[in-house]
């Protein structure tokens, strides 16, 4: 049976830590970074799973993302969640049901959009380190844009870089699509180089990534 997906006001979701079954993705969250990312983008990159317990919607997995949606200012107005209950029960709560195909049609993987990225480091970076990060990210963008057939995906433009007041987080926007290709591995290798040779990374878009291998 396909999961039931619906739009939910995150403030309606109850977090009961005794009922949580966190996923590997949940356990990789660096919450302070995730809050910063959700505050900036106004979205969460996860589909929390909810249980219907009586009249209460209780989160099973995706708790860090639900909490971030609740705690940003103002809170997100809605998030798409997956439900462990029947479609009829979800509809009885007045929630708007959506389907995976509808979501894909609204956000096709081959359609370019403005994707906001955030890299968080564990310490402040020097002027030279920040310049090195910016140069490497710009070179990556230029390489993948010049060879879409080799890398997959499609990168059309890239904004300037913005560093936070602590000089430990950098954000930028590039216009790209979500098609999968070798560009993902190339980007992860770039992050690995930052972590090893520039400054320790805290997260990418609020998620700690494994850089050991």
Sequence-distant (≥ 6) Cβ neighbours of residue 180 within 8 angstroms: 109, 152, 153
- How far apart, in whole angstroms, are the C-alpha atoms of residue 198 and residue 71? 32
Q: Categorize the per-residue pLDDT at 77 as very low, low, confident or very high, splitting at 50, 70 and 90.
A: very high
Which is it for strands 96-98 and 4-8: parallel, antiparallel or unpaired?
antiparallel
Q: Does domain 4-106 have CATH number 3.90.1530?
A: yes
pLDDT digits (tens, 9 = 90+) for 8-34: 999 999 999 999 999 999 999 999 999
Share of the chain above pLDDT 90, in %: 77
Residues of the chain with CATH 3.90.1530: 4-106
**In whole angstroms, how large is the CA radius of gyration of the chain?**
19
pLDDT for 20 equals 96
pLDDT for 51 equals 95
- Asked if pLDDT for residue 1 goes beyond 80, the answer is no
Helix (H) or strand (E) holding 52: strand 49-53
Question: Cβ distance 173 to 191 under 8 Å?
Answer: no
Q: How many CB atoms lie within 10 A of CB 95?
A: 20
Residues of the chain with CATH 3.30.70: 113-204
pLDDT digits (tens, 9 = 90+) for 134-189: 999 999 999 999 988 887 778 999 999 999 999 999 999 999 988 888 898 999 99
Q: Which pTM value belongs to this model?
A: 0.91
What CATH number has the domain spanning 113-204? 3.30.70
């Amino acid at each position: 049976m396909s999961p039931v997906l619906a739009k939910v006001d995150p403030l309606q979701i109850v977090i009961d830590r005794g009922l949580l079954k966190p996923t590997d993705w949940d356990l990789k969250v660096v919450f302070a970074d995730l809050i910063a990312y959700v505050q900036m983008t106004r979205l969460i990159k996860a589909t929390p799973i909810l249980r219907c317990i009586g009249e209460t919607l209780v989160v099973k997995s995706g708790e860090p993302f639900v909490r971030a949606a609740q705690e940003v200012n103002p809170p997100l107005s809605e998030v798409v969640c997956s439900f462990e209950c029947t479609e009829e029960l979800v509809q009885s709560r007045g929630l708007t049901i959506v389907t995976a195909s509808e979501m894909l049609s609204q956000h096709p993987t081959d359609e370019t959009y403005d994707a906001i990225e955030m890299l968080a480091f564990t310490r402040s970076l020097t002027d030279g380190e920040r310049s090195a990060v910016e140069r490497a990210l710009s070179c990556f963008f230029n390489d993948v844009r010049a060879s879409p057939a080799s890398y997959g995906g499609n990168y059309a433009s890239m904004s300037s870089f913005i560093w936070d007041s602590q000089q430990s987080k950098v954000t930028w926007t590039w216009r790209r699509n979500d098609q999968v290709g070798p560009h993902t591995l190339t980007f992860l290798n770039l992050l690995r180089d930052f972590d090893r040779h520039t400054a320790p990374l805290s997260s990418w878009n609020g998620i700690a990534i494994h850089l050991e291998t």
